[in-house]
Structure 1
Amino acid sequence: MSIRPIEPDDHAALLALWRRTPGLRLRPEDEFVPFCAYLQRTPGLSLLCERQGRLLGCVLVGHDGRRGYLQHLVVDQPYRAQGVARALLRRALEQLAGLGVQKSHVFVLRDTPESLAFWSAQAAWEARGDIQVYSHSEESP
């Protein structure tokens, strides 16, 4: 098992993984051009895990200089419960810490019990009840 930075050429395989992952909601930002722009803004931070060329899982990692943001931490169904997500998470946090980013956030949809169980089991992660998230998206002309 090896972990490496995500590259633009990985998009098709990642998109296929995301599409077959129950509970993961794709957005326009997951299309190729915005995906590549995201990778350029935070070079080398987003990660994928593979074994013998086979994609096992991934995580998109960004930051605003103060806080890290994790998105699409996904492990393909046949490879779950083998430590892949924990390895990706550990590496992502190490990279962020190397940039001086000590606190990170992940947004988990309420209707994804498997994801909620994973994050609840992570000792260093705390569910927040003191904030509400609001989102805004510009409509295309």
Structure 2
Amino acid sequence: MKPETFQLREMMLSDYEAVLGLMRRTPGVSVRDADSEAAIARFLERNPNLSFVAEQDERLVGCLMAGHDGRRGALYHLAVAADCRRRGIASALVARCLAALEGLGIHKTHVDVFRNNADGNAFWAAAGWTRRDDVHRFSMICGGGSNA
């Protein structure tokens, strides 16, 4: 696939099954209970025009979801089909999400990457993102299961 042969468009809830399948096939991307169709519907409604998919020949080959809290942006679930990597899709998705966030006045964005996700960590570092060693992330599950 050449970079000019894929198209980016806004992610719709109708993309849910294809996006979920892509996430499940992507090493280093975790699918949790919080990725249910209802939860993704709430996320897309709360963060309109910020999440995108890449398509080639009517096949969904990439996805990236973005949201914000009014001050900072956050990126979630960057995934590109294994046979379509190293073609500029991930970079194009990131650029589109960052531009959409900037359009809302959000100038700083974070992404969480599992420490054991070598490909993911290499991608973000090569793209110029700064790894933070000065903060720790703490999580709490209130209700729901251990896979929330």
TM-score by length of 1: 0.96
Partner Cα separation in structure 2 for residue 23 and residue 95 of structure 1: 25
Q: Which whole-Å deviations, capped at 9, do the CAs of 1:25-79 have from their partners, x for residues lacking one?
A: 1111111000100000001111001012111100010001110000101111000
In the other structure, the counterpart of 1:6 is 11
Partner Cα separation in structure 1 for residue 55 and residue 79 of structure 2: 12
Q: Which whole-Å deviations, capped at 9, do the CAs of 1:61-111 have from their partners, x for residues lacking one?
A: 000111000010111100000000000001111110000000000000001
Partner Cα separation in structure 2 for residue 95 and residue 74 of structure 1: 19
Percent identity, aligned pairs only?
41
Structure 1 gap ranges (5+): none
- Report whether the alignment pairs 1:131 with 2:132: no
SS at match of 2:137: coil
1:140: how far off? Answer: 2.8
Find the partner of 2:47 among 42, 46, 63.
42
Aligned pairs for 1:91-106 within 5 A: 91-106=96-111
Q: Which runs of 4+ in 1 moved over 2 A?
A: none
Structure 2 gap ranges (5+): 1-5
User: How well do the aligned residues superpose, as a CA RMSD in angstroms?
Assistant: 1.1
TM-score by length of 2: 0.92
Find the partner of 2:120 among 94, 115, 118.
115
